């Protein structure tokens, strides 16, 4: 990727305040969000342009980063910039209501759509891994996934122990404290539970402790078990990171006959070469092995993954409620080590287990960032969301917890799950909230525009047979027309940035997904865009699941008057 850009060193995060470098706020928002993704407080390895999720990058090279910034500064209000795998490749006159930036990352033609071809092309400098929100400039740090993780664990607790208060008195074991996985300990403690998380990289552990996501650390398995057990018995919320390889750690639990109530994993198993660490090596030793002998690294890494999944299966057998957390560890073992572990899919993925009913109602992780950089602007939006939806106790608890416990990283931002559900005027939940933020910007109660975006992991924006579309009722798991329609619809509705990516979460060839941004600058145009985008985008979740035969989605479509042709086919 070359030497870090001098501009990036100067910015060290998004520019803030009300003066802008670009012709308009839509272009300025893109420039700020790209720099926010690469803020050292936000990104995992910003000097390599890596934002999170293994090698998820924000730009293909440092030269491409400089070129994107130069283009954004020149981009007119009636032009659209095209970005192909993190490199600006064209600029056309379109019109004011069209997107300002269109992005396509990591996409390959079906027959070539695997890591092998991807790595060959990457080595030639022709493509980039954009993960989900890395290459679409919508990453906001570990806080971005926190509510999703919190909701998932809350639902796991409700299903397994309906009489307990969240996860109180239970232990959740997981691994991986990276950009996304780092949310797990805090999500468990917010649900009153106890978390033990194995992580090989001490720097990641320290980062999560410094930022309040994890409470304690240890190098000793017995110590971790004892402290977790004590806290669970006392009904206290507690989290501890264990400096260990996940496979070794889980085998250690089996030897000691310690069975947690919940078990999952968020190591970057989707990428056996650049995401997952093999057992028997320190991080530094493994990094040397990867550079010198990538083939051996892959083999070692896949061997460890097979042991890791086998240990998860054994703990499941002994009573741990076990699920995959969207990193394709089951798929990897099925593809490369099925002789050793014949049925890695014996535990479910988190979407069919806990999240799909939300998707049926068009609910998903709506997120927004204050371009001013002023936390007061986000606090005003916190109040606004509570004023708008006073009946939602769950939302109130989330916003209160987030205000209390989540440190901002980079631009002050917030996430909350909102859905399609319309009010009597036919305005969706997401649009209602976006329109209110736009008003607050217009009235000057918020000091600068706010950008609203979302994770790619949303109701109608992903095809990912090992994750978001695992075990769809009609068997349509691998049909990728849906995210493509979603991206086209986002353009038609006038989102300000629209992106289409391959391979996020689960690795190249395993998913296709999209994202959008709308810049709320207080104008009539922003209101028009917000109303359209935040209706059509969650609406895709409703129609996608209605088409697959989910009653909850069909009911939501009827309730909210969403047109579903051939509903009774
Ligand atoms: P990351 O690359 O920032 O962090 C992964 C962490 O796992 C690193 O800290 C690494 O040191 C650690 N690790 C790797 N191998 C290990 C091993 N064998 N034992 C212990 N620790 C190990 O990635 P991330 O952004 O945290 O994402 C983690 C995974 O989750 C990825 O596969 C990603 O695609 C997936 N993901 C899931 C969701 C979701 O909502 N479920 C969302 C985003 C990403």
Residues 127-165 have pLDDT tens digits of 999 999 999 999 999 888 999 999 899 999 999 999 888
196-247 pLDDT per residue, tens: 999 999 999 999 999 999 999 999 999 999 999 999 999 999 999 999 999 9
Is 143-348's fold the same as 356-560's? no
198 lines ligand 1 (CB under 6 A): yes
- Regarding the beta carbon of 188 and ligand 1, being less than 6 Å apart is answered no
Closest of 373, 335, 400, 535 to residue 16, by C-alpha = 373
Measured in whole angstroms, the distance separating CA 110 from the mean position of its chain's CA atoms is 24
| Model pLDDT, residue 165 | 80
The residues, any chain, with a CB within 8 Å of residue 299's CB and separated by 6 or more, are none
**Among the options 22, 214, 416, 491, which is catalytic?**
416
Q: What is the pLDDT of residues 158-204, one digit of tens each?
A: 999 998 889 999 999 999 999 999 999 999 999 999 999 999 999 99
Predicted local distance difference test score (pLDDT) of residue 164: 85
**CB contact set of 157 (below 8 Å; sequence gap of 6+):** 164, 166, 167, 170, 191, 193, 262
**101-110 burial: b if 16+ Cβ within 10 Å, else e:** bbbbbbbbee
Atom from ligand 1 closest to the CA of residue 308: 18
Closest ligand 1 atom to the C-alpha of 457?
Answer: 40
pLDDT beyond 80 at 3:
yes
Nearest-atom number in ligand 1 for the CA of 305 is 18
Q: Which residue's CA lies nearest to atom 11 of ligand 1?
A: 201
Protein residue closest via CA to atom 25 of ligand 1? 53
Backbone angles phi, psi at 90, to 5 degrees: -175, 160
Tell me the C-alpha distance between 370 and 81, whole Å.
23
User: Exposed (0-12), middle (13-18) or buried (19+): which is 95, by Cβ within 10 Å?
Assistant: exposed
Boundaries of every domain in the chain: 6-10+26-48+59-123, 143-348, 356-560
pLDDT at site 182: 96
Ligand 1 and 271: CB distance under 6 A? no
State yes or no: is 22 an active-site residue. no
Look at residue 270 in the predicted model and tell me its pLDDT.
Answer: 95
Cα four-point dihedral sign 8, 11, 15, 16: positive
* Nearest CA-CA partner of 144 in 456, 460, 363: 456
Which CA distances in Å does 58 have to 103, 117, 129, 210, 216?
Answer: 11, 21, 9, 25, 31
- Cα separation, 410 vs 140, whole angstroms: 7
Average confidence (pLDDT) over 260-277: 97
CB 11 less than 6 A from any atom of ligand 1 = no
Task: Report the percentage of the chain scoring pLDDT > 90.
Answer: 96
Q: Which of 37, 180, 331 to mutate to test the pocket of ligand 1 (most atoms within 8 A of CB)?
A: 180
How many angstroms is it from 143 CA to the middle of ligand 1? Answer: 15
Centre of ligand 1 to C-alpha 508, Å, is 15
| Mutation to probe ligand 1, out of 181, 245, 273, 469 (largest number of atoms < 8 A from CB) | 181
Q: How far is the CA of 276 from the centre of ligand 1 (A)?
A: 8
Helical residues (DSSP H) of 426-565, grouped into ranges: 429-442, 481-493, 524-547, 551-560
With a 6 Å cutoff on the Cβ, whether 147 touches ligand 1 is no
Output the pLDDT for position 163.
87
**Residue 568: what pLDDT?**
66
What DSSP string runs through 314-333? HHHHTT-EE-B-SS-HHHHH
The length of the chain in residues reads: 569
| Closest CA to ligand 1's atom 38 | 326
Q: Is 505 in the pocket of ligand 1 (CB under 6 A)?
A: yes
Ligand 1 atom nearest the C-alpha of 506 is 34
- Read off the tokens for 199: 């992580």
- The mean predicted confidence, pLDDT, of the chain is 96
Helix or strand run (H / E) with residue 184: helix 183-190
Place of tokens 């997107």: 99
- Residues 6 or more apart whose Cβ sits within 8 Å of residue 159: 354
Q: pLDDT higher for 151 or 8?
A: 8
Q: Which of 267, 325, 327, 470 to mutate to test the pocket of ligand 1 (most atoms within 8 A of CB)?
A: 267
Atom of ligand 1 nearest to the CA of 54: 2
pLDDT digits (tens, 9 = 90+) for 81-132: 999 999 999 999 999 999 999 999 999 999 999 999 999 999 999 999 999 9
For 333-364, the three-class secondary structure string (H helix, E strand, C coil) is: HHHHCCCCCCCHHHCCEHHHHHHHHHHHCCCE
pLDDT for 567: 77
pLDDT over 70 for what percent of the chain? 100
Tell me how far the alpha carbon of residue 376 is from its chain's centroid: 25
The phi and psi torsions of 362 (rounded to 5 degrees) equal 75, 15
Please state, as a whole number, how many other Cβ atoms lie within 10 Å of the Cβ of residue 481. 11
How far is Cα 41 from Cα 51, in angstroms, rounded to an integer? 10
The Cα 73–Cα 52 span in angstroms is 26
Q: Is the CB of 267 under 6 A from ligand 1?
A: yes
349 lines ligand 1 (CB under 6 A): no
- Stretch 351-369: mean pLDDT, rounded? 94
Instruction: Report the atom number in ligand 1 closest to the C-alpha of 283.
Output: 11
Q: Of all atoms in ligand 1, which is nearest to the CA of residue 131? A: 34
Class of domain 143-348: alpha beta
Q: How close is the Cα of 443 to the center of ligand 1, in Å? A: 42
Binding site membership of 180 for ligand 1 (Cβ less than 6 Å) = yes
Q: Indicate the fold that domain 356-560 takes in CATH.
A: Urocanase fold (3.40.1770)
Shortest-distance Cα residue to atom 2 of ligand 1: 54
pLDDT beyond 70 at 569: no
432-443 as b/e, with b when 16 or more CB fall inside 10 Å? Answer: bbbbbbbebbbe
Name the band, by pLDDT with cuts 50, 70 and 90, for residue 384: very high
Does the beta carbon of 354 sit less than 6 angstroms from any atom of ligand 1?
Answer: no
Residue range 49-71, pLDDT digits in tens: 999 999 999 999 999 999 999 99
Cβ burial of 319 (10 Å; 0-12, 13-18, 19+) is: exposed
**Helix 375-388 × helix 393-405 angle, to 10°:** 170
200 in contact with ligand 1, CB cutoff 6 A: yes
Interatomic CA distance for residues 204 and 400, integer angstroms: 27
The rounded Å distance from CA 326 to ligand 1 centre is 9
Per-residue pLDDT at 466: 95
């Amino acid at each position: 990727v070359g030497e870090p850009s001098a501009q990036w060193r100067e910015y060290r995060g998004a520019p803030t305040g009300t003066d802008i470098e670009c012709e308009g706020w839509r272009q300025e928002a893109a420039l700020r969000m790209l720099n926010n993704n690469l803020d050292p407080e936000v990104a995992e390895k910003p000097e390599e342009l890596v934002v999170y999720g293994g090698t998820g990058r924000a730009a293909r090279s440092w030269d491409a980063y400089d070129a994107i910034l130069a283009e954004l500064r020149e981009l007119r209000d009636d032009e659209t910039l095209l970005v192909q795998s993190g490199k600006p490749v064209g600029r056309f006159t379109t019109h004011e209501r069209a997107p300002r930036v269109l992005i396509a990352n990591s996409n390959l033609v079906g027959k070539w759509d695997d890591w092998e071809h991807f790595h060959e092309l990457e080595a030639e400098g022709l493509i980039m891994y954009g993960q989900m929100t890395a290459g679409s400039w919508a990453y906001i740090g570990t806080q971005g996934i926190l509510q999703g993780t919190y909701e998932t664990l809350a639902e796991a607790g409700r299903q397994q122990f309906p009489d307990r208060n969240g996860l109180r008195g239970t232990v959740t074991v997981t691994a991986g404290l990276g950009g996304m996985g780092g949310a797990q300990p805090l999500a468990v403690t917010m649900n009153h539970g106890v978390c033990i998380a194995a992580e090989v990289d001490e720097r990641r552990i320290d980062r999560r402790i410094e930022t309040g996501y994890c409470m304690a650390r240890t190098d000793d398995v017995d110590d971790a078990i004892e402290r977790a057990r004590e806290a669970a018995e006392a009904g206290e919320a507690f989290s501890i990171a264990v400096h260990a390889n996940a496979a070794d750690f889980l085998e250690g639990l089996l030897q000691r006959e310690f069975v947690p109530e919940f078990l999952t994993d968020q190591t970057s198993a989707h990428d056996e070469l650049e995401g997952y660490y093999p057992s028997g090596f320190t991080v530094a030793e493994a990094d040397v092995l990867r550079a010198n002998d990538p083939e051996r690294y892959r083999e070692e890494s896949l061997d460890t993954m097979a042991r890791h999944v086998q240990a998860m299966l054994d703990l499941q057998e002994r009573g741990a409620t076990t699920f995959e957390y969207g990193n394709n560890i089951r798929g990897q073992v099925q593809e490369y080590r099925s002789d050793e572990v014949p049925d890695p899919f014996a535990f479910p993925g988190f979407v069919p287990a806990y999240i799909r009913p939300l998707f049926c109602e068009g609910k998903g992780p709506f997120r927004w960032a204050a371009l001013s950089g002023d936390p007061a602007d986000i606090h005003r939006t916190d109040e606004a969301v509570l004023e708008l939806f006073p009946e939602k106790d769950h939302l109130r608890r989330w916003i209160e917890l987030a205000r209390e416990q989540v440190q901002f990283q980079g631009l002050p931002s917030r996430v909350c799950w909102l859905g399609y559900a319309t009010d009597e005027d036919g305005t969706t939940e997401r649009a209602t909230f976006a329109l209110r933020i736009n008003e607050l910007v217009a009235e000057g109660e918020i000091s600068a525009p706010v950008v609203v975006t979302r994770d790619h992991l949303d109701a109608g924006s992903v095809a990912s047979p090992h994750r978001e579309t695992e075990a769809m009722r009609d068997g349509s798991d691998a049909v990728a027309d849906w995210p493509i329609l979603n991206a086209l619809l986002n353009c038609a509705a006038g989102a300000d940035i629209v992106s289409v990516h391959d391979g996020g979460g689960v690795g190249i060839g395993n998913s296709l997904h999209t994202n959008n941004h709308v810049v709320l600058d207080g104008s009539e145009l922003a209101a028009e865009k917000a109303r359209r985008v935040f209706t059509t985008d969650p609406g895709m979740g409703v129609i996608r699941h209605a088409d697959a035969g989910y009653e909850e989605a069909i009911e939501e479509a009827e309730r909210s008057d969403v047109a579903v042709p051939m509903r009774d086919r």
